[in-house]
Each structure stands twice: as C-alpha cells, then as structure tokens.
Amino acid sequence: MLCRMDDILKKATQEQYGVAAPNVWNLETIKAAVGIAEKLKSPIILDYGEGGYEENIFEVAMIAKHYGENASVPVAINLDHGETFKGAVRAIKAGFTSIMVDRSSRPFEENLKDTKELCKIAHAADVSVEAELGHVGVGEEYADDNNSFTKVEEAQIFVKETGVDCLAIAVGTAHGHYAGVPKLDFERITQLRNSLDIPLVLHGGSSTGDEALQKAIKSGISKVNLFTDLSDKAIDFMKKMLEIESAKQINLIDFYDEGIKGYSSELERYIRLFGSDNKA
C-alpha cells in the first residue's frame, strides 16, 4: 500500500525500530526493494535522488506508484535531497508521497524560510516533508568535527516554525565511502529524540557499521538512508560473475540481474538489522 512517509516513521518511532530507505532509480531497483520488503513483511521507503535524475521523475514515479499501490506492505516514495523548488513541485505533481527539502548548506534562517514555504505547498497536497538541519557531508571529506552537527536548540525552533514532518540530523555520518572511521554522537541523537516530537532521519547509513546503526536506532533514529553499500554489493556480484570460466557467454540481461541480486541481498541484511521485519 502507498503511504505518506511520516505515517510509516511515526510507528517506527513509537516501536523503536528503523526503516530502510534505499536509493532507487529504475524499474529493477524499485521492484527489488519492494519485493524484499514484502518478503520480510517490512515497511519500505523508496528514496529517489533529485540530483542528476530530475528529467526521469515522472517515469520513475509511475513505476514506484504501481509497485507501491499493489504492495502488501507500506511503501513511501520520497524525493531525496530536493535542492530546488522546481524539483520539489515536480515530485509532488508526479505523485511522490514525501519530499526532502535540502537547504542544509544554507544559513539557518534561509533553511527555515525555504523549508516552511515548501511545507505549506506539500501539506496542501497531502505530501509529507523531510528537512535537514546541520550538514551531512561527503565521506571522502569526512572529519571528526562536530561544528556542522545538528544543535538541539536550533532543531526545536526549526521544527516548530516550519511544521516539517521528519528531520534529518547531522551526528557524525557522511555520504559515500568514508576516508576515516565514522564516530556517531549517540548522546546528541538521544537529546534530539527527547526534544522533538517528529521522527529522526540518518543520512549516510552505508559503511557506518552494524553496531553503530543499531545503537543509533535505539537512541532515536527511525529512518536510515542507504545507497553506497547497496551499490557496492551489486558491483561485487557482477565482478564475481565475470570471473567464472564461462564469462564470455554472459549476456547483459543476466549480468544486470546479478547486480540486482547483490543489491537485494544487502538490502535484506539491513532491513533485518534495523528490526523492521514483520512490522508491516
């Protein structure tokens, strides 16, 4: 069934489990993600990144809506890192059930103003909104520096003024591959959880470590975004296929299917790790 993302996350917050939000970008990844969620009886959030793919947003939405509406588990379709007003509005028109407004690199007041404006538009269309406060950087530039971490006092003001439905927080993760070992600020997660009445989101879930992710969920995280580890596992499966003696006989269909098997296996592992299996 197709759902607003905040409806999925409210239950996760109450019952203290995490919901996986894998990046999807085509029929195969959408079908795989929903299929694994149904297999495990888990809710799922399909994250579609605005960057580089905006021209395909209506086609992807059509596919995602088809699988979401016919799924036996709750499915949300979320615009990931919506950095433009145009992209957010297009996602709403396309049928996304949630949008992420990413103004995290802007000054606090500008982030608040833009998020508040888009919340009004999205809520009028019955679409939930995720925003980011603090800044989650890129893994190659990772540094153990809490200057960009989400501040509790600012988060309270931000949530109250914008009316946002869930908040992505900066607590030590990064996007992509890490240059160092991530160190999450679990105390900050707990403080934010106790100070806010909306679900919390963790970006950069890949390569953070199983123990750290489980502790983050116990501390108050309800949604974990995933891409790099899913992509890496897909590539691993494809590489191994090329190493077999009959590799010359491999066709593109089988080769791509092998990558999707890798993507699916890693997503299944994470769903079990987050504890959302049998929660649909």
Query: Which residues are the active-site residues?
Result: 80
**Does 70 count as an annotated binding residue?**
no
**Does 246 count as an annotated binding residue?**
no
Phi, psi at 100, each rounded to 5°: -105, 125
As a residue count, the chain comes to 280
Calpha distance 180→182 (Å, rounded):
6
195 Cβ contact list (under 8 Å, min separation 6): 152, 155, 156
**Does 81 count as an annotated binding residue?**
yes
Category of 18 on φ-ψ map: left (φ > 0), alpha (ψ -120 to 50) or beta: beta
**Does 205 count as an annotated binding residue?**
yes
**Does 203 count as an annotated binding residue?**
yes
For the chain, report the end-to-end CA distance as a whole number of angstroms: 10
**Does 132 count as an annotated binding residue?**
yes
Calpha distance 100→5 (Å, rounded):
11
Give me the DSSP letters along 76-110.
EEEEEEE-SHHHHHHHHHHT-SEEEE--TTS-HHH
- Tell which residue, 133, 96, 131, has the closest CA to residue 116: 131
**Does 123 count as an annotated binding residue?**
no
**Does 135 count as an annotated binding residue?**
no
Question: Which sign, positive or negative, has the C-alpha torsion 78, 83, 88, 94?
Answer: negative
51 neighbors 83 (Cβ within 8 angstroms): yes
**Does 176 count as an annotated binding residue?**
yes
- Tell which residue, 120, 125, 200, 93, has the closest CA to residue 155: 200
Annotated binding-site residues for dihydroxyacetone phosphate read 176, 204-206, 225-228
Annotated binding-site residues for Zn(2+) read 81, 102, 132, 175, 203
Annotated binding-site residues read 81, 102, 132, 175-176, 203-206, 225-228
